[in-house]
Amino acid sequence: MDDEYDCIVLGTGLKESILSGLMSSVAKKKVLHMDRNAYYGGESASLNLEQLYKKFRGEEKPPASLGQSRQYCVDLCPKFLMACGDLVKVLLQTQVTLYLEFQSVAGSFVYRDKKLHQVPSTAQQALSSGLMGMFQKRRFKNFIAWVNNYDANDAKTHSGLDLAKKTSNEVYDYWKLEESTKVFTGHAVALYLDDSYLQRPAIEMVEKCKLYAYSVSRYGNSPYIYPKWGLGMLPEGFSRRCAVFGGIYMLNVEDKDNFVEGIVYDDDGKVCGVKSEGKVAKCKQVIADPSYFLNTDKIKSDGQVARCICILSHPIEETKNVDGCQVIFPASSVGRKNDIYVSMVSYVHNVAPDGKYIAVVSTNVETKEPERELDVAMKFLGKVDEKFFWVTNCYRPVNDPAKDNCFITSSYDATSHFTTCTSEVLKMYKLLTGTDVDLSGSAEPEDLQP
């Protein structure tokens, strides 16, 4: 504890664990990783049934009808990985895949007109989709075929469209896409959180759609994959990788309230250490989740997220009874400002006993009755064996890391995918080291085999 480190990481949430793994294995920094809890993951932990009941029900014991506690790995903030996306490339680059097994997620769906529809990503799926009328199907088919064929370096594939100058909305209009088609394309394929992207250059939207379609083509009916035994395996895997490269860990301390007594700064206001249990570990940089900076001027409240974990004995019927899926309820389709997300995994992913399913519904809170905000999605789950609802306060950093060397992550958002999380981690690594993470490698299914 009295030693000096290049970087001290506070919290073993996924973002912090990815950064500690990168700082240790890629940047070759000396890292001390600290967490007041006995388990990895923080807000992104995976809990067994007894831990879940203890967190939400205190001393109440889970009923025998739900099965054995140790067979559950329930994510507090479930998220799926885009199969060929940047987070998978980070996993491969750091070789964290040595500690993990992945399972494809069977389906990707979107809500429209009181029904759930599979998200089309190929020309063939577009023609059979119930999301569109006959003429719109053909137009969307042409749009998807063009997107999948688009090559930034080959003008012949551009159809005369300069995507650096044309907005996403202008490109949609060129292909004569209706407003409802724009909605599911932007929110369920490109995975935007709002519609501000419509007025930005279209190149990003097209690349996001290409990634979605390519991931589907490599893995089946969905672009997503998920770690067996729960999301908690990811922070544990990155932490193990950090330890292999000399990272030091302090977890599960007895005096949790005094685990981190304070961040120590020099006369210039730059961090120079972390005080814990009466001792100071010196460092040049601190990475931390927002909980370590509560009641300071370095973070700001950023709303709330409502989540409801549901244990089921059946799949979601309108998803064609798949064993795992994501469902997105676009805000404009349900009269809201924010999308609603549903992620469902099951015994197939080794997170529940045979025949059991775990569905989590989440959204940003907009009213004083947050649980009711989830109703439109909850009704699609059918009979629920048990549910755990809670609201999380969210925070985002407002400090300047260049001035204080404090690199604070934001709270986990309501999305059921890692798009925003991965983007934040990559930007923070660039701020920490001045270099980008190498994402030049491929992310093919065979690359993930142990």
Q: Say how far apart CA 414 and CA 391 lie, in whole Å.
A: 11
**267 and 241 together in one domain:** yes
Reduce the DSSP state of residue 422 to 3 states and report it: helix
Q: Say how far apart CA 148 and CA 85 lie, in whole Å.
A: 16
CA geometry: angle 18, 21, 24, nearest 5 deg: 145
Going by C-alpha positions, the residue among 145, 103, 104, 139 that lies closest to residue 121 is 145
**405 and 269 together in one domain:** yes
Q: Say how far apart CA 43 and CA 164 lie, in whole Å.
A: 38
pLDDT, position 449: 65
Asked, for residue 382, whether it belongs to a domain, the answer is no
Rg (CA), the chain: 22
pTM > 0.85: yes
Q: What is the dihedral of CA 189, 364, 376, 317, to 10 degrees?
A: 50
Going by C-alpha positions, the residue among 132, 232, 235 that lies closest to residue 184 is 132
Mean pLDDT by 10 residues, the chain (450 residues): 85 92 94 82 89 94 96 95 92 89 93 94 85 94 94 95 97 97 96 96 96 88 92 90 88 61 92 88 95 94 97 95 95 96 97 97 98 98 97 97 97 93 96 93 70
**144 and 247 together in one domain:** no
Within 10 Å of residue 170's Cβ, how many Cβ atoms?
A: 15
Please report, for residues 4, 29, 142, 233, the alpha-carbon distance to residue 425 in angstroms, rounded to integers and kept in the order given: 24, 17, 35, 18
pLDDT, position 2: 56
Secondary structure element (H or E) that encloses residue 218, with its range = helix 203-219
Look up the domain containing 201 and give its range.
120-219
pLDDT, position 252: 61
pLDDT, position 450: 57
pLDDT, position 253: 57
**248 and 281 together in one domain:** yes
In the structure encoding, which two tokens stand for residue 234, read together? 């990811």
pLDDT, position 249: 84
Q: Say how far apart CA 387 and CA 171 lie, in whole Å.
A: 43
Q: Say how far apart CA 12 and CA 371 lie, in whole Å.
A: 28
Count: domains in the chain:
2
**131 and 167 together in one domain:** yes
**240 and 287 together in one domain:** yes
Backbone angles phi, psi at 23, to 5 degrees: -65, -35
pLDDT, position 384: 97
**214 and 293 together in one domain:** no
Q: Say how far apart CA 389 and CA 327 lie, in whole Å.
A: 19
Q: Say how far apart CA 450 and CA 47 lie, in whole Å.
A: 25
3-state SS, 306-360, equals: EEEEEEECCCCHHHCCCCCEEEEECHHHCCCCCCEEEEEEEHHHCCCCCCCEEEE
Point out the domain boundary residue: 219, 239, 260: 219
Asked, for residue 359, whether it belongs to a domain, the answer is no
pLDDT, position 273: 93
pLDDT, position 47: 94
Going by C-alpha positions, the residue among 450, 395, 448 that lies closest to residue 15 is 395
**270 and 137 together in one domain:** no
Point out the domain boundary residue: 153, 184, 219: 219
Q: Sign of dihedral through CA atoms 358, 364, 369, 372?
A: negative
Asked, for residue 349, whether it belongs to a domain, the answer is no
pLDDT, position 40: 75
Q: Say how far apart CA 124 and CA 329 lie, in whole Å.
A: 23
Asked, for residue 236, whether it belongs to a domain, the answer is yes
**234 and 268 together in one domain:** yes
CATH code: domain of residue 211: 1.10.405.10
Residue position matching structure tokens 């300071």 = 296
Asked, for residue 89, whether it belongs to a domain, the answer is no
